Structure 1
């Protein structure tokens, strides 16, 4: 069963109590009551969606998703929040969010990828949230914005928010809440974070807490993967996808996941893949970005990707894409930049 932290439902209850609104209908037909919500652990998605819909009706006129987002901070994410709050910089915090977000809410995936312009964070839903999906997206966008701005100390006016919903009549509410450029009708809920913010040192970095949090999350991830048959390779691919060239080696990725190289290789082998294969895929994605979105020479791209010999880069690219780097660039140029995946 898909579950979620009780924090958000507790906030709905608190906002009703603050306004002296009878909250009894929040729990109509549910397996939990106010006491269980306040003192218990994760709650089921059906229970949460009921509370969210009932809260929206009772708080008529409020932008509930933004209201919830503005009342919380990274610590609402539990152990994941502790880790990202104590991270050395924004990039490493977002890498943790990408790798471990399902430990906080099993119905959502946070997918991040580094691009030439910075990093794009995508919010994907595993559970059909129906008519309340926009509440989830609004809360997630505000929470992400708060984390970025708390870490960097500045408003992210140069970020781009893309929302997978038609433009609502109250779109001004979105402009007031989100500090960057906003577009509606997108194919996915995404935020583009400019490169300049990613590697700034965080004033909240706490080395011991950071390491302890990663260790704890890695243990929890192992348990989740075993119980839900979650592919381990998606976490390795996530670390590679959120890194910039030169991409981390096996030792660095194993260290980031708090496991040994031998264990990492064994777990990937059990899923019929390998670190070398996953890294080659990540390298190919970067190569296509460079070829399609810059005028760098093939030699310069090979060097940026960490190849000692340009011939090795040409050979690896042909094996991956079925054409040479020059042929790919020529084909992409004739089709336009939109054909190049980020």
Structure 2
């Protein structure tokens, strides 16, 4: 279900990207103010927010000032510091490893950027960071998706080792202004893919950061948890439970409430209560995680259905197919075929 742009809320600090691009081109800041319908004082107010319609207009207002012959998203990304996502950017930098940083992004991205959902899947020796659009930004849709996935490249300055063999995959078709690989970081860019995702070797998860800080990590995590509890879009505890379920699945352990509670260092009663507070149940969450894994395997691998069913916790392909169709409205074969 698509979230209407008028119902999205963003911090005005995201406009620093468009402002930086306009200033580099010598364009007046009034271009951005007119698109947003804000005064310059409002643009400088750290408490100011904008909706998705304003965000869309700002993206499109800056586009005519991009240089010809260069990928549009790269020109926007040149003005996107990792700190643009506020406390989440600080948490990424404070994380000990790239794996820790991705866990933070998966857990809290929806708090600060509700237009997309994100999940991290480990498939064989690869990590797939799958991004799902939750809103339609119209003619700015493909540009914004390229910026969101391209943000992964902003991690590099904070890592102790260079990333390698990174692939960016986009669902939309290529155009003369599309994202293009540059340097050694991004090995390949694919268009017309089954999903929007970043893929890289799983061993990269162990790469340490140059800026890790346990104390800052605790402090910023507390702040983000408070933001999530105030009713912002992300369901932080459910996301944490999803990752714990995936950990148990990867280890081949039984998906039982007591086992999950122990994994999360909670009582079973607290686990159920906190899931209920976020409008879900343990059974529903386990089913969702199983189907999500199966869906990713179907569209990103050529594994036989029997193997995918087993990875998703089913002993019979027929039972798996029925469950998958209940969840997604199509059979696994139809999903793999691009229906």
TM (normalized to structure 1)?
Answer: 0.73
Q: Mark the CA change 1:268 to 1:320 in structure 2 (over 3 Å): closer, same or farther.
A: farther
1:120 is displaced (CA, Å) by 0.8
Alignment of 1:245-260 (within 5 A): 245-246=250-251, 249-253=260-264
1:118 correspondence with 2:135: no
1:250 is displaced (CA, Å) by 2.4
1:214 paired residue number: 221
Q: Mark the CA change 1:103 to 1:317 in structure 2 (over 3 Å): closer, same or farther.
A: same
1:322 paired residue number: 319
Alignment of 1:196-235 (within 5 A): 196-224=203-231, 233-235=238-240
**Which of 41, 45, 57 is matched with 1:39 structurally?**
45
RMSD: 4.0
1:142 is displaced (CA, Å) by 2.4
CA distance in 1, matches of 2:244, 2:64: 41
Task: Give 3-state SS (helix, strand or coil) of 1:111's partner.
Answer: strand
1:3 paired residue number: 9
**Which of 102, 109, 127 is matched with 1:94 structurally?**
102
CA distance in 1, matches of 2:160, 2:187: 15
CA distance in 2, matches of 1:234, 1:240: 10
Task: Give 3-state SS (helix, strand or coil) of 2:159's partner.
Answer: helix
Is the 8 Å Cα contact of residues 114 and 241 (structure 1) preserved in structure 2? no
1:77 correspondence with 2:82: no
Q: Mark the CA change 1:200 to 1:164 in structure 2 (over 3 Å): closer, same or farther.
A: same
1:74 is displaced (CA, Å) by 2.1
1:192 paired residue number: 199
CA distance in 2, matches of 1:14, 1:100: 26
Q: Mark the CA change 1:72 to 1:284 in structure 2 (over 3 Å): closer, same or farther.
A: closer
Alignment of 1:16-165 (within 5 A): 16-28=22-34, 30-40=36-46, 41-61=48-68, 63-148=71-156, 150-156=158-164, 158-165=165-172
CA distance in 1, matches of 2:317, 2:177: 47
Q: After superposing the two structures, state which structure 1 stretch, 241-250 or 162-171, moved more.
A: 241-250
Is the 8 Å Cα contact of residues 254 and 264 (structure 1) preserved in structure 2? no
Is the 8 Å Cα contact of residues 228 and 234 (structure 2) preserved in structure 1? no
Q: Which runs of 5+ in 2 are unaligned?
A: 1-6, 254-258, 321-331
Q: Which runs of 5+ in 1 are unaligned?
A: 306-312, 324-334
Q: Mark the CA change 1:87 to 1:26 in structure 2 (over 3 Å): closer, same or farther.
A: same
CA distance in 2, matches of 1:287, 1:26: 43
1:27 is displaced (CA, Å) by 2.5
1:4 is displaced (CA, Å) by 2.0
Pair member with larger Rg? 1
Q: Could you give the per-residue CA deviations for residues 286-331 of structure 1, whole angstroms, max 9, x where no partner exists?
A: 7997xx859xx9xxxx9xx9xxxxxxx9xx74489738xxxxxxxx
The number of residue pairs the alignment matches comes to 305
CA distance in 2, matches of 1:19, 1:82: 29
TM (normalized to structure 2)?
Answer: 0.74
2:242 paired residue number: 237
1:175 is displaced (CA, Å) by 2.4
1:184 is displaced (CA, Å) by 0.7
1:60 is displaced (CA, Å) by 5.0
Task: Give 3-state SS (helix, strand or coil) of 1:83's partner.
Answer: helix
